[in-house]
Amino acid sequence: MVEGVLVALDVGTSKVCALIGEIGRDGRLTVIGHGTVPSSGLKRGAVVNIEQTVRSIRDAVERAERLSGWKIDKAFVGVGGAQVESLNSTGQVSVAAHTREVSRDDIRRAVEQARTIPIPSNREVLHVERRGFTVDGQEGVKDPLGMSALRLEVETHIVTAPQTAVQNLMKCVAQAGVKIDELVVNALASAEAVANETERELGVAVADIGAGTIDLAMFNEGSPFRTSVLPVGGNFVTNDIAIGIKTSLPAAEELKVRHGTCDLRGIAEDEEIAVSVLGEEAGRTIGRLELCQIIESRMRETFELIGAEIHSGGAGMLPAGLILTGGGAQLAGVAELGREVLQMPVRVVGPSGVGGLTDSILTPAYATSIGLLQWGASMLDGDEPARFESAPAGGVLGRLRSAVKSMLP
């Protein structure tokens, strides 16, 4: 029996992916349709051409619809871009009921109090996560509902993005004929797919290395405490290869994928590969070591940027280390280089926990897409969101179900 149908829409710098998933009565998530097309109209995760972006979204949606037999009505949509930021805030209220028992209204008022911090008018609040509660001085309370108390304090994690960037993305999705169930920051969606509960409790960072940006989320005690986006990604490695070897970007990308590695130790100095050169029909050969030195140098700089962000957020709170995912994490030797630069546990993880048409999508490149489905599935558990307040395009009904009601003719 099917409990609900969910749709994920990941609008990225290099690809647009639409996934359709079924939730069974047993809670199992099964992918029944997916469409992936090259992305155009985005730069570093932000829309720069509405018409091209709309076309890419439509193409991905149509492919997913044809494969599944469902018509997409609504979707959980990922939000990226280099200006996603976060901050933590606390709110404190007196318990209102004469019985002095914490009610849902008390929790809501405490969260609203935490949200009253000054946020620039040009920024949109996407998430307000309840990290934990303090009840009459007792810290570490996860769910205070029904507890006896006089004072209730909540610590929240607030994620924001530029208002115009969010509006442009919403406009593109709407023009493609899709309604938005909820906007979800890519970093948190990816973490949903690759970081387990134990790792989040211990303390872990998740870095989704995309084509134009790196989405980074840091967790401790089960909840995120820092969410950010770094303005670098796999395309920067490709650009360096194209400049260094004097070849085209498509040729540079192919060289990176087929011959590239971050581990220089196993490369023979006389190993050569053929490359096409701009302005030359015949092309030439170069040493593979030269190619990989460019890749290693750029990825080393990338890990230094990730390390700076982790240390500013609290590296001592991450005993479970760093999880790498995203298309850029599929580069050979990337985890070994990360461990060398960061001096902490680093591993590459792909999404898991779904069934169905997954042979081609259970790879790190699809972590955000599958994470969006799992995010939506987690909202089917009850009428009250356990952790999150409403995102701009969300609402409780939007969270509960992304049902697709009409079949294709």
Render pLDDT for 335-362 as a digit per residue (tens, 0 to 9).
999 999 999 999 999 998 888 867 778 8
Banded model confidence at residue 283, pLDDT cuts 50, 70, 90: confident
Sign, CA torsion 135/138/141/146: negative
Provide the whole-model pTM: 0.88
pLDDT value at position 280?
Answer: 66
Alpha-carbon torsion, ordered 287, 288, 294, 296, to 10 deg: -140
pLDDT value at position 396?
Answer: 30
At residue 387, does pLDDT exceed 80?
A: no
Look up residue 82 and give its DSSP letter.
T
Q: How many CB atoms lie within 10 A of CB 13?
A: 23
Written out in words, the top-level CATH class of the domain with range 234-296 is: alpha beta
Break the chain into its structural domains and give their ranges: 85-162, 234-296
d(CA 55, CA 177): 11
Q: What is the DSSP string of 351-390?
A: --SEEES-TTT-SGGGHHHHHHHHHHHHGGG-SS-SSBPP
d(CA 22, CA 5): 5
d(CA 50, CA 41): 6
pLDDT in tens, 53-110: 999 999 999 999 998 888 999 999 999 988 899 999 999 999 987 788 999 999 999 9
At residue 1, does pLDDT exceed 70?
A: no
In the chain, what percentage of residues exceed pLDDT 70?
Answer: 90
How do beta strands 204-209 and 322-325 pair? parallel
Decide if domain 85-162 falls under CATH 1.20.140.10.
no
Average pLDDT over residues 183-207: 96
d(CA 128, CA 112): 10
pLDDT in tens, 138-171: 988 989 999 999 999 999 999 999 999 999 999 9
pLDDT in tens, 20-59: 999 988 888 999 999 999 998 888 888 999 999 999 999 9
pLDDT value at position 373?
Answer: 94
Alpha-carbon torsion, ordered 146, 149, 153, 159, to 10 deg: 10
Look up residue 23 and give its DSSP letter.
E
pLDDT in tens, 310-332: 998 776 789 999 999 999 999 99
**How close are the terminal C-alpha atoms of the chain, in Å?**
23
